[in-house]
Structure 1
Amino acid sequence: MTTLFIKNMVCDRCILVVREQLEKLGIGIEQIKLGEVKTREQVSGETKQKVDLALTKLGFELIDDKKSRIIEKIKTLIIDLVHRRENDSKQNLSDLLSKELHHDYNYLSGLFSEVEGITIEKYFIAQKIEKVKELLVYDELSLSEIAYRLNYSSVAYLSNQFKKVTGLTPSYFRQVKEDKRKPLDKV
C-alpha cells in the first residue's frame, strides 16, 4: 500500500476526478479523502510518474516532501472545517491543528507562513469569507444565521471582517453577487 499526497484536491469533485484518473491507470484505491489517497498496492517508479503526469494535466500535483505534505494537510483541515462541518466545534484552531497533525502549533504556523507567505489565521479567515460569500449568494440564510454557522461571535464582527477582506459590506455583496467568488484552491 502507498499513500499519495495530492495538492489542490480540495472538494468532492476533485476526489471524483482523482479516483477516475487512478482507476484509468489501473491503480486500486483503498481509501480516498481530501488531499490523500491510499492505494491497495505499492505505487512507485514509472507508475508514480504516470500518476503525476495525469494529475498535473488536471491541475493537481503529487507532493513528495514532508513539509509540503504538512502544509497541504493544514489547508485540507481548514477547508474541511469551514466548508463541510456545520458549527461543529468551538475548539481553538491552533489546538485543533496541533492535535490533528501531531506538531506544535508554533512549528506549523512558522512552516505555513514561510512556505505560503501568509499566516494560518489569514488563510482561515479567507476560507471563512469565501464560505460567507457562498451563503450570501444562495440567499437562504440571514446574516445572523451565517455568523452562527461559521462561529462568529457577532454579526458586527462578521461584517467588519468581511468588509476588511472584500471591501464590501455583506449586504452590498448580497445585492451585486456576480463574479465575486473564488474557487477554494485559489483562495
Structure 2
Amino acid sequence: METSGGGIQASLGGRYASALFGLARDAKTIDQVEASLATVRDAIAQSDDLRALTTSPMVSREGAVKAVLATADSLGIDATTKNFLGVLAHNRRLGQLPQIVRGFRELASRHRGETTAEVTSAHPLADDQVIELKQQLRQRVGRDVNVDLSVDPQLLGGLVVRIGSQMIDSSIRTRLNALAGAMKG
C-alpha cells in the first residue's frame, strides 16, 4: 500500500481514509469514491437530520447503519462508499466523516500528482471567481491547484482555503472574532 505520510495516518479519521483509499485504489474506483464522499459531505451540510445522525450518541448502532445505508441509496452512492459508510455507522465513527473526506481527497490528489485546495465560502462562487482563485493559488503554490468548493453561510463573507495542513482564513467571521478579542483585551 502506498505510504501516505505521517500526517494523514496519525489520526483515526486518517486511518479510515487510508483504508478506504486502499480499497478504492484496488477496485480502480478512486474517482467514484471521491465523488460519493463529496456528495455525502454536501448532504450532511444541507440536512440537519443527516448531521444529527452522524453526530448524535442517542442514535442506536442499528438505527445508524439502517439510516446511513438508506441515505446512501437515495444519494446514488457507489457500492464501495456505501459499504464503508455502513462500517463507520456500525463502529460509531460517522462523526469522523469530515476528517475522512479531507484525508481521502488528499490521498487521491497525491495519487494523481495534483494539489487540491479546499475552499469554503459564504456564498457559491461564480465561474470567473473560481478561475481567478485558481490563478492566485497557482502563483502561491507553484503548480496547478484543483479546488474543492463548499459553502458555509456562517462565514458571512470571505474565504477559508486549506491546502494540505496550510490554512488561509480571510473570512469575515474570523476578522470579527479577532476584532472582538482585541476590543476586550
Q: Which TM-score band applies after superposition, normalised by the shorter structure?
A: under 0.3
Question: What TM-score, normalized by structure 2, do the two folds share?
Answer: 0.26
Q: Higher helix proportion, which one?
A: 2
Question: What TM-score, normalized by structure 1, do the two folds share?
Answer: 0.26
